Amino acid sequence: MVKYEANIKKGDVELKVFTKVLSDYFQKLKISVPKELSIKNVQMDSKKVEKGSLFIAINNGNNYIEEALEKGAELIICDKDLDIINSKIIKVSNSIKFLQDIAKIYRENLNIKIIAVTGSEGKTTTKDLIFGVLSHKYKAKKTLGNYNNQIGLPFSILQLDEKDEVAVLEMGMSNLGEIDLLSKISKPDYAIITNIGDSHLEFLINRDNVFKAKTEVLKYLNKNHVLVYGDDPYLKNLDTLKVGFDLKSNFKISDEVEVYEGVHFRLNDEKYFVPLNGLYNAVNASFAISIGKLLGMSYQEIKQSLEKIKITSMRFEKIEKDGILFINDAYNASPVSMEMALKAFSSLPLSRKKIIVLGDALELGEKEIEYHKIILLEALRHSFDKIFIYGQRMKKASEILNNSKITYFAEKSIIRDELNKMENIAVLLKGSRGMKLEEIIM
C-alpha cells in the first residue's frame, strides 16, 4: 500500500463515498456484488490486505487471491480465470483499466483540491514542499515514492480519505499520452511544471517531445491555475503563471543565499527560508509558496510551514556515518539534475574535502555517452578533490576524456573501501535509481 504523510489519520472507518461509487459502478455493469459492502481501504499488495480491504489484483497479484481471502478481503478484483469460486471475487477484463476507471469516478465524487506536479526534474521535492506548506492549514495528503504512473496515480487517489481537503499528486511519464491519461483520471485543480529537461529521451528522443508530453496537462486547466518555471526556454512563452528569476515573473525570486542549513531567498519581496540545500530549491519552494498563496494561506502560515519542511529521502539528504558526511542525492538522475547537484555540492560551505561519486544516468537514448561526457566535463569544472564514477556509461565517457582526475570503480564496495581510507571528507552520491548508489553508505 502507498504510505502517506498526512496531518490527520484516516482511521479504521468505512469509506462510504467510495463504497457507494463501487456499488454504483458494478450496478451499471450489471455485475452482482455482496449487498452489504463495507470497504475500509484499497490494496494492491496482498501482504497489506486486512479485514474490509478491496484487493485489486494487478499482474502477478492474481496469484495471491487466496491469501487476500484468508486475510479478510471484502472484495477482490482480478482479470484472470481462477479455479476458486467465491462471491467476493469479481473478474474484469483488465484490472489496471478497472483501477483507472474507479479512481476517476471516485475523484469526481470527492470534494477536494488536487495539485498535479510534473516536469523533468524536481517533481518529488516540489511535491513534498507543496504538501508541507498546505498541510499546515488543510487536511492534506501526498503520494510518497514513485507512485506517479498509470498504476500508481490512480491507486494514490484511492488512498484519499473523504474528509481530505487537498492532495498533491506527482505525474510521471515515459512517453506521449501518459500525462493526458493521468490528467483525465485525476482532474487536477492546479498544476505545476517544474522544467523541461533530458529525462526519458530513450523514448521521447528530444526535448521538443518532452515539452509536448509534460504540457498535456494544460488543456485540463484554467491558465491562472498553472504554474511553470518561467526561466525555462520551453516554458517561458506559455500563457500561464510564471515562477522564476525573470523580472516578468508573476512570482519573482531574488536575493537567494545558500548556507549550510539551507537557502534564504525573497519571493515578491517577502523573505523566506527553506532548510534544503541547492539554490534550485528556492525555485521548488517558490512553487509551494505560490500554491499556498493561491489557496488563501497567509505569509506567516507559509513561512512557518517551510521552515519545518520534511522531504522524501535521497534528495540531497545529509547523512553522517563513520566520520563521513554523505550527501545522498541518489534517488534519480538526468544531465540537468546532475549538473544542479554538482553546483549545489560545490557551493555548499564545508571545511571538508569534497568527493563526488557519479553513477550512470539511464534512459537517455542514442546520445547517452555524449550526455555522460558532458556530465563529467561539468564535474571537472568544479574543484572537487576526487571524482569517482560507477557504471558502464560513465566508464565509456571517461575513456573518451582520458582525464587522470576521474577514477572508475567496477564495484560499489570498493568505492566505500576507498572512502574509508580518507579523513575529513564529504561525499556526494548522484546517479539513476537503477544504480543504487545509496548502498555505498551501508
* Structural domain ending residue among the three candidates 95, 129, 164: 95
Same domain? For 208 and 144 the reply is: yes
* Structural domain ending residue among the three candidates 50, 68, 95: 95
Average pLDDT, integer, range 139-168: 92
Nearest-5° angle of CA 203, CA 344, CA 387?
80
Assign 168 to helix, strand or coil: strand
Same domain? For 147 and 250 the reply is: yes
Same domain? For 352 and 422 the reply is: yes
User: Residue 4: its pLDDT value, please?
Assistant: 34
Same domain? For 268 and 140 the reply is: yes
Same domain? For 222 and 269 the reply is: yes
User: Residue 14: its pLDDT value, please?
Assistant: 63
Spatial distance between the Cα atoms of 302 and 300, rounded to a whole number of angstroms = 5
Answer yes or no: is pLDDT of 11 > 90.
Answer: no
Which CATH number belongs to the domain containing residue 29 in this structure?
Answer: 3.40.1390.10
User: Residue 5: its pLDDT value, please?
Assistant: 35
Q: Does residue 9 lie within any of the structural domains? A: no
Average pLDDT, integer, range 149-161: 95
Number of domains the chain contains? 3
Average pLDDT, integer, range 277-289: 95
Q: Does residue 382 lie within any of the structural domains? A: yes
Same domain? For 184 and 87 the reply is: no
Q: Does residue 409 lie within any of the structural domains? A: yes
User: Residue 144: its pLDDT value, please?
Assistant: 66
* Structural domain ending residue among the three candidates 257, 277, 307: 307
- Return the minimum-mean-pLDDT range out of 20-34, 109-123, 124-138, 419-433: 20-34
Same domain? For 344 and 257 the reply is: no
- Tell how far CA 418 is from the center of its chain: 32
Same domain? For 295 and 321 the reply is: no
Report CA Rg, the chain: 23
Q: How confident is the model at residue 199 (pLDDT cuts 50, 70, 90)?
A: confident
Q: Does residue 101 lie within any of the structural domains? A: no
Average pLDDT, integer, range 45-71: 94
Q: Which residues contact 97 (CB under 8 A, 6 or more apart)?
A: none
Average pLDDT, integer, range 90-109: 96
Q: Which residue has the higher pLDDT, 7 or 355?
A: 355
- Tell how far CA 273 is from the center of its chain: 22
Q: What percent of the chain has a predicted confidence (pLDDT) above 70?
A: 96
Same domain? For 277 and 379 the reply is: no
Name the residue range of residue 91's domain: 16-95
Q: Which helix (H) or strand (E) holds 114?
A: strand 113-118
* Measured CA distances, 327 to 33, 124, 330, 414, 437 (Å): 52, 17, 9, 18, 11
Cell numbers found for residue 303: 513561512
Average pLDDT, integer, range 219-240: 97
Pairing of strands 386-390, 406-409: parallel
CA dihedral 184, 186, 190, 192 (to 10 degrees): -80
Q: Identify the CA nearest to 207 among candidates 315, 335, 329.
A: 335
Answer yes or no: is pLDDT of 418 > 70.
Answer: yes
Residue-averaged pLDDT of the chain: 92
Most confident of 228-232, 258-262, 329-333: 228-232
* Measured CA distances, 161 to 42, 111, 133, 140 (Å): 11, 10, 19, 9
Q: What percent of the chain has a predicted confidence (pLDDT) above 90?
A: 83
Same domain? For 303 and 332 the reply is: no
Which CATH number belongs to the domain containing residue 434 in this structure?
Answer: 3.90.190.20
Same domain? For 122 and 259 the reply is: yes
* 318-370 pLDDT tens trace: 999 999 999 999 988 999 999 999 999 999 999 999 999 999 999 898 999 99
Assign 28 to helix, strand or coil: helix
Tell me the residue ranges of DSSP E strands in 178-316: 190-193, 226-229, 241-244, 251-259, 262-267, 270-274
pTM of the full structure:
0.87
For residues 274-287, b (16+ Cβ closer than 10 Å) or e, as one string?
Answer: bbbbbbbbbbbbbb
Cell numbers found for residue 105: 469516478
Spatial distance between the Cα atoms of 22 and 45, rounded to a whole number of angstroms = 19
Answer yes or no: is pLDDT of 224 > 90.
Answer: yes
Spatial distance between the Cα atoms of 374 and 198, rounded to a whole number of angstroms = 13
Same domain? For 26 and 173 the reply is: no
User: Residue 201: its pLDDT value, please?
Assistant: 78
User: Residue 3: its pLDDT value, please?
Assistant: 35
User: Residue 310: its pLDDT value, please?
Assistant: 83
